[in-house]
Amino acid sequence: MSVDSHLATTTEHSLAQRFLQVRGLTDLLASRLSAEDQTPQSMTAASPAKWHRAHVTWFFEEFVLRRDPAYTVYDDTYRYLFNSYYEAVGERHPRHDRGLVTRPGVEDITRYREYVDAALSDRLRRGDLDDEALTLVELGCNHEQQHQELLLMDIKHLFSTIPLSPGPIYVDREVDVDAGTPSLGWRSVGGGVVEIGVPGAGVPTAPFDGGFSYDNEGPRHRVFLEDFHIADRPVTNADWLEFIADEGYRRPELWLSDGWAFCREQDLHAPGYWRLEDDGWTTFTLSGRRQVVGDEPVLHVSFYEADAFARWAGARLPTEFEWETAATELGDARGNLLDPDRCHPGRVGTAMIGDIWEWTSSAYLPYPGFVAANGAVGEYNGKFMCDQHVLRGASAVTPVGHERATYRNFFPASGRWLFGGLRLAR
């Protein structure tokens, strides 16, 4: 066997292992849900757990397996039902009606996943996928990790609408005790010309060595920064309680115009899932309704709320370039990432990656020289570069290994069901 052949075989073997590990985590997360849990859709922005499981499977079938004329498609109707937004693929079921699709059922989706798993694992073991297909498999694995986080976000929102006390419990865990919020400190970061992003974004530099990135993370380019300070921890629940006590939600001078309109329209008075009860503030978690813990990072706040809080605190949100520069200095420091037995942030620490996604002041726009990939997969990120804001870091429901300092998450300014919080800058 030649050296090149040996490397190709090793690559595909590791890719097969990675594929099955990612698929297995999705199965584990879904195993805690009943068929009834997996079918409803609690709002248009969310999707049923069953749909997430089918969509990520469709992605592998559509973009990898269908490339082989000898492949037998599992069910042609699934192409319509489980396409998300890929216009180049064809018509698709309306997003707001995903919760009305009771059939195929949960067991049907499980069989679909098993069928695609077997077919793709066989192709990887045989070693007959070309480099483009292998890259698409890795993209599919990262795509599924994104949907693992979305599945948990959406299930949390669904469970929060069920009028039970303390509410449905996805994962049982011990009650967290407030150990006291550490005082807020500031890190000084020097400015000047800095390099942002990754080279060759969208193409893995080597299989599963941490080199994967999405196309929106590059090209690497230079940005000029002024000297700045960034908080050494995220904003906590205790901090937010002070904002509430100081009438932060009732002071229009703190808010952007669109934010104030959103605040009044939605009658905001606290972060998402919070509720004031006789014994104080509670919040809904994936372990049911719990007391708000002061030393945990605040989450489920929109960009509008984050911006208003920063102004109230006499600070601002960092730009995404400031955030990446500051986070890179911390190296491999990590907070809480996805632990299926917790699914919730921990006590605030100094790491900038983990526990919560952090809103930045930056609009989600292409980097200089950005070019979307050809074909349907080019619709993955570029088409959303309008009216979205960038969040950086990772959250307590982000799968381990899916996080990095260059990762650009993005949501509308009004988004609250994501695990989003903030860190101050000045």
One DSSP character per residue, 337-396 reads ---TTT-S--S--S-SSSSSEEEEEEE--PPTT--PPSSGGGGSSGGG-SS-EEEEE--T
Spatial distance between the Cα atoms of 73 and 67, rounded to a whole number of angstroms: 11
Structure tokens at 361: 């002041």
Dihedral angle sign, alpha carbons of residues 250, 253, 254, 256 = positive
Write down the pLDDT at residue 202.
Answer: 54
Indicate the pairing of strand 420-421 with strand 357-363.
parallel
Rg, the chain, Cα only: 22
Write down the pLDDT at residue 79.
Answer: 97
Write down the pLDDT at residue 59.
Answer: 98
* Tens-digit pLDDT profile for residues 107-153: 999 999 999 999 999 999 999 999 999 999 999 999 999 999 999 99
Structure tokens at 288: 């049911």
Write down the pLDDT at residue 209.
Answer: 47
* Tens-digit pLDDT profile for residues 23-63: 999 999 999 999 999 999 999 999 999 999 999 999 999 99
Structure tokens at 375: 């074909």
How many CA atoms are closer than 13 Å to the CA of 199, on its beta-carbon side?
Answer: 2
Which residues share a beta bridge with 225?
192
pTM: 0.95
Write down the pLDDT at residue 204.
Answer: 47
Spatial distance between the Cα atoms of 246 and 250, rounded to a whole number of angstroms: 9
Q: What are phi and psi of 119, to 5 degrees?
A: -65, -45
Q: How many residues in the chain?
A: 426
Spatial distance between the Cα atoms of 284 and 166, rounded to a whole number of angstroms: 8
Spatial distance between the Cα atoms of 59 and 83, rounded to a whole number of angstroms: 8
Closest CA to 285 of 173, 392, 409, 403: 173
Residue type (1 letter), 201? A
Write down the pLDDT at residue 103.
Answer: 97
Closest CA to 71 of 143, 31, 1, 128: 128
Which residues share a beta bridge with 424?
none
* Tens-digit pLDDT profile for residues 144-200: 999 999 999 999 999 999 999 999 999 999 999 999 999 999 999 999 999 999 986
Contact 240, 309 (CB under 8 A): yes
Dihedral angle sign, alpha carbons of residues 324, 328, 334, 337 = positive
* Tens-digit pLDDT profile for residues 328-377: 999 999 999 999 999 999 999 999 999 999 999 999 999 999 998 887 78
Domains of the chain: 3-160 (1.20.120), 186-421 (3.90.1580.10)
How many CA atoms are closer than 13 Å to the CA of 100, on its beta-carbon side?
Answer: 6
Q: What are phi and psi of 183, to 5 degrees?
A: -60, 150
Spatial distance between the Cα atoms of 315 and 305, rounded to a whole number of angstroms: 14
pLDDT greater than 70 at residue 403: yes
CA angle 63, 69, 74 (to 5 degrees): 65
CA angle 221, 227, 231 (to 5 degrees): 100
Structure tokens at 340: 């299926």
Contact 388, 410 (CB under 8 A): yes
Contact 275, 282 (CB under 8 A): yes
